[in-house]
Amino acid sequence: MVEPGKATTGVPRRPNGRILRAAEARAWQDGHAFLDEARRDAQQLRDAARRAYAAEYAQGYEDGKAQGDADAARLVSETAVKVDRYLGGVEAEIINLALDVVTRVLGEFDVSMVVAKAARQAVAEIRRAKYLKVRLHPASVNKVRDELNAVLRESDLGMTVEIDADDTLARGACILLTDIAVIDASIDAQLSAFAAAISSKAEAPT
């Protein structure tokens, strides 16, 4: 007899009586066949459920991993852009600071002396020219002439030098004209070249 709250888990493997009528024997055999088939069906359902769960788990893992990879790539890209912007701003500040320092240092010297030194350096680098004409502000004429005479004495340039005072030029201006080139040795031009050199150095790949 089946107790309340409990389910039967099987039928007897052997009949209770030794002698069964034909109908009872068939019922007993059919019961065992039905139970075996039910067990097989239940096992198949469990196997199918396990496979479905495993497939869904694997797909969920792959989807989650793909989403995580995409989020990580986006975060790296956004961070790189922010870093580049920050470094770009820092580099600009450094360049401006360097130019400010150089300008302040140059401001402590006599402008005519700075122009004269710039002219001397430019002339020293011109070795194939046959003649040289220097245009500058009248206030710088004397010191530039002294520097150029020193260059000519110390070298074998052998060129003809002419100094042209032009009061329309700024005090820091110094234009060198030769038969092969025109050189702007002005203080502002030197500062611009200095800034360009720093910028190109900062932008060069490391």
Q: Which two tokens stand for residue 199?
A: 């910028």
Give 163 or 9, the one with higher predicted confidence. Answer: 163
pLDDT at 9 over 60: no
Q: What is the structure's pLDDT at 2?
A: 39
Confidence of residue 5 (pLDDT cuts 50, 70, 90): very low
Confidence of residue 183 (pLDDT cuts 50, 70, 90): confident
Confidence of residue 206 (pLDDT cuts 50, 70, 90): low
Q: What is the structure's pLDDT at 82?
A: 67
- List Cα–Cα distances, 165 to 28, 91, 124, 142, 144, in angstroms: 131, 39, 21, 10, 11
Highest mean pLDDT among 64-73, 121-130, 182-191: 182-191
Q: What is the structure's pLDDT at 149?
A: 82
Please classify residue 147 by burial: count the beta carbons closer than 10 Å to its beta carbon, then call 0-12 exposed, 13-18 middle and 19+ buried.
Answer: buried
Mean pLDDT to the nearest integer, 130-142: 87
